[in-house]
Amino acid sequence: MAVAFSILLARFVYLQVIKGEGYRHLSANNCIRLQSIPAPRGLIYDRNGALLVDNRPSFDLKIILKDATPVPETLSRLSRLMAVPVEELQEKIDSKSRRRKFKPILLKRNISRDQLAVVKAHAFDLPGVIIDVEPRRNYIHEKCAAHVLGYLGEINAGELKKGNFPDVRSGDAIGRDGVEKEFETVLHGKRGGRQVEVDATGRLVRVLSTVDPVPGQNVFLTIDLELQKAAETLLQGQSGAVVALDPATGDVLCMASSPAYNQDDFIGGISHEKWRVLQEDPGHPMTNKAIQGEYPPASTYKIVSAIAGLEEGVVNTHTSRFCSGRHKYGNRTYRCWKKWGHGDVDIFGSLEQSCDIFYYRVGEDVGVDTLAQYARGCGLGKPTGIELRKERPGLVPTAAWKKRRFGVSWQGGETLSIAIGQGFNLVTPLQMAVLIAAVGNKGTLYRPRILHSIQARQGEDPVEESPEITGGLPAGKETLRIVREGLRRVIHGKRGTARSVKIDGVTMAGKTGTAQVFSMKKKDRDRSKNEPLDYLLRDHAWFVCYAPVENPVIAVSVIIEHGEHGSTAAAPVASQVVKTWLDRIGYFENHEK
């Protein structure tokens, strides 16, 4: 008996004294646990307070291995009830390289209401299986402004190691594109937590204490939801982009890129099949064509050439040049788009009728490097600075650039192509919108902005961002007056290339453009008028405009890929966008009164 009691006493001492602290810690963890509460992301609104993106509850299926013993049997039951292969559930567990028995492991995100009911009904047969309710991103208007808003994606191990996201944990989603990415730190919020008591199977007994999460700040964008929808409807079935700006502030009123993608596909991880479809789509739906699409500006570039010619004194309002439809330079003949020519043309008529011959000669007189100086002064050849990443700079070629790039000298004939917006020239639709907006507001270049204001807490007044001036057009008042009058005649002149898109009661100014996709000999181009070209070989269609001429409230840039003619493909889209905006702000009602 003495030996037996000595053994028992020694065991008590070992458990209570030597191992006591460790067992007390295990005991506490078995009954009291800390649970993280994710913070809802901030909401995204349009300029008028219309909700674009919010959050809705997501029921996430998780398992705590410590409570799920025996794990194989629990997974087998769960597999039958959820109609999910047990191998898939096991794979989720095995994918966690650092499995902690007390930490929940995500098995399936955003289960349906029916699945939720099944799990709840069989809770006693599924020890360790829990349902976490977490906020899930909800893009209210499917595909609307997808390239502006962006999407979310789960953070990866490499990003976690860098420490750039201090309040983000494995399994959390972060912004991957657009506004969601650019304003991640504003939208994300701060997670909370709670201390809970659980029973032996991991079921909640009671909540001991709670620290509420801090929601992310709300963001108000400059875009107008209804105008955005109208632009996207006009682009439906076509590849291209529409950008509309407020010439007085640089606010982006709409930015549409077609085709678009569904942001909901990325929540919780996009499937391999859906990602493959997006990548193989010839329309490139993942590309924001408004800021990433680089195109020859075609005749819209004649705005730059006109400014350069007027400022350099090679043309003025008295200059008249004869267009026969052909221009001989060296041993090559350069043609006008109108094969029989425009006859005598002055600076106003050159813009109104988009005469190539007039601008061939401007290019000859000014030179490529001087043209490049004016193009850069007009905001081309560099990013505009909009608060969206991956913006492309376009290209303003010079003689030195060609020498560096190709190792050969610049040829004089290439300047002629540059002067009419062909050749090496590349611009984005946003750059052209900024340029035409500056012409409309009489010379001020604004940094286009997508962020209107930030609301720190619900109920507080949003703090508005201020417009930012980045410079002025390299043009004097008289030059701008001449160019503006020429652009007005494009729509309201008797021979204007866009006279068919006039809006009753509104004076507009604009410029058409038709950008060659590839070089084609005259005989082939003549034949194509009778035999339709392959879609991918057709010209791109451009149109830029602002309205009303007297005091512009909107400037629009439109590119329709392979639309062939700016006057018939792009101009009607821009005209309808202008009309929609003027209706939105009550312009017609006020002017009728």
- The residue among 272, 250, 354 whose CA lies nearest residue 305 is 354
- The residue among 151, 147, 105, 99 whose CA lies nearest residue 128 is 105
Please give the full DSSP string across 509-550, using - where no structure is assigned. Answer: EEEEEEE-SS---HHHHHHHTTSPPPGGGSPEEEEEEEE-SS
Name 122's Cβ contacts closer than 8 Å, sequence gap at least 6: 77, 81
The two tokens of residue 312 are 């350099």
Residue 50's CB: how many other CB atoms inside 10 A?
A: 16
Q: Which of 299, 350, 417, 567 is catalytic?
A: 299
Question: Quick check: is 209 catalytic?
Answer: no
- Taking the C-alpha atoms of residue 120 and residue 126, their distance in angstroms, rounded to an integer, is 9
3 state SS of 514: strand
- Taking the C-alpha atoms of residue 208 and residue 320, their distance in angstroms, rounded to an integer, is 87
The two tokens of residue 265 are 């596909």
Bridge partners, residue 328, by sequence: 333
3 state SS of 442: coil
Residue 534's CB: how many other CB atoms inside 10 A?
A: 8
> Cβ distance 141 to 135 under 8 Å?
no
- Taking the C-alpha atoms of residue 46 and residue 223, their distance in angstroms, rounded to an integer, is 6
> Cβ distance 544 to 436 under 8 Å?
yes
Q: What are phi and psi of 52, to 5 degrees?
A: -105, -40
Residues designated catalytic = 299
